[in-house]
């Protein structure tokens, strides 16, 4: 028996890259899959074929069950239809993987309003729309699992990705809120920050030798390495795991920290001057460096 026998899973952005491996792995684990993919380019501007249908065929050829959905996650009515497709075709929905995404990288001081809205609409609003569309069904059945894709660009930081970073850290807050609000209905919500070479990552501009070396390391990390964690989080084996953030890098799995107090100072009334003279010197050794993801993971993937 597979870990997902009897389950129905909806995966957004499942036509290519990480999402494709998610869909194929979920089906191999016994799930019936709704493969959502708009078929757009990495920046979301053009439609490039019907990859969702191709993944459905791959799953079918291997003996699995899947249906394609071509909806846009940044439209709530499309998100509702994704959930309805699962119910209409398979009678239920057990898990949602919010994976769809685009990139519009630009240094902050050059980023357009359109570039900001487009990325936030797909990543953050899209994750909310699809999750909200599934929430009533999960609540009625008193079961369900959400897996949201975040990024170390949001958890730690990166150049030229203010839109993407803000959306991805927003997804962490969304996931935690879902875990808190829907825990009473046995609904779980977790995040994965993946390290993998995909066509979307391939659009990141290479501006220096450090970035070039990072990209070369990423090429070694294939999307199929991320799928086992997603399958696990959608399974009943993860029934007690919720509100967590995991990072997966090749053969490494990390449980990521979350915001908690680091140090505290007390004084009977603070002024700007005493903050400068007393609090900040005490905090100085604990202040976070302005790191990027590659600064935190300087070693080659295992």
* Strands in the chain per DSSP E: 8-11, 32-36, 66-69, 95-98, 144-149, 187-195, 245-249, 252-255
Residue in this structure with the two tokens 């291997």, named with its chain if needed:
62
Enumerate residues 6+ apart whose C-beta is below 8 A from 138.
Answer: 93, 144, 182, 185, 187
Dihedral angle, C-alpha 200, 201, 207, 213, nearest 10 °: -160
Q: Which of 79, 63, 87, 105 is nearest to 12 (CA)?
A: 79
Cα-to-chain-centroid distance, residue 56: 22
**CA torsion angle 251 259 200 234 (round to 10):** 60
CA–CA dist 189, 202 (Å, integer): 29
Cβ atoms within 10 Å, residue 275: 13
Spatial CB neighbours of 286, under 8 Å, sequence gap ≥ 6: 262, 263
232 noted as active-site residue: no
CA distance to 21, 166, 178, per residue, from 244 (Å): 22, 18, 11
Among the options 164, 185, 232, 288, which is catalytic? Answer: 164
Per the CB < 8 A criterion, the answer to whether 258 and 251 are in contact is: no
Q: Judging by beta carbons within 10 Å of its beta carbon (0-12, 13-18, 19+), is residue 53 exposed, middle or buried?
A: middle
Residue 54 backbone dihedrals phi, psi, to 5 degrees: -65, -40
Which of the residues are catalytic?
A: 164
């Amino acid at each position: 028996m597979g870990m997902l026998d009897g389950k129905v899973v909806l995966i957004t952005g499942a036509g290519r890259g990480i999402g494709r491996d998610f869909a194929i792995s979920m089906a191999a684990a016994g799930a019936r899959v709704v493969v959502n993919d708009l078929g757009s380019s990495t920046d979301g501007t053009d439609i490039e074929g019907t990859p969702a249908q191709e993944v459905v065929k791959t799953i079918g050829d291997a003996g699995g069950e899947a249906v394609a959905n071509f909806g846009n996650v940044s439209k709530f009515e499309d998100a509702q239809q994704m959930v309805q497709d699962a119910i209409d075709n398979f009678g239920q929905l057990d898990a949602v993987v919010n994976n769809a995404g685009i990139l519009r990288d630009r240094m902050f001081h050059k980023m357009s309003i359109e570039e900001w809205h487009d990325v936030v609409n797909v990543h953050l609003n899209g994750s909310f729309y699809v999750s909200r569309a599934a929430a009533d069904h999960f609540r009625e059945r008193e079961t369900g699992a959400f897996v949201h894709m975040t990024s170390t660009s949001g958890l730690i930081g990166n150049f030229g990705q203010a839109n993407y970073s803000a959306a991805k850290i927003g997804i962490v807050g969304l996931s935690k809120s879902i875990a808190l609000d829907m825990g009473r209905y046995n609904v779980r919500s977790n995040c994965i920050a993946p390290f993998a070479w995909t066509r979307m990552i391939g659009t990141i501009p290479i501006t220096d030798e450090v970035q070039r070396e990072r990209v070369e390391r990423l090429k070694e990390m294939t999307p199929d390495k991320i799928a086992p964690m997603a399958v696990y989080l959608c399974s009943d084996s993860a029934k007690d795991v919720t509100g967590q953030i995991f990072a997966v890098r090749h053969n490494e799995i990390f449980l990521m920290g979350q915001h908690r107090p680091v140090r505290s100072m007390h004084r009977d009334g603070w002024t700007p001057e005493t903050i400068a003279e007393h609090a900040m010197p005490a905090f100085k050794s604990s202040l976070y460096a302005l790191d990027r993801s590659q600064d935190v993971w300087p070693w080659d993937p295992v």
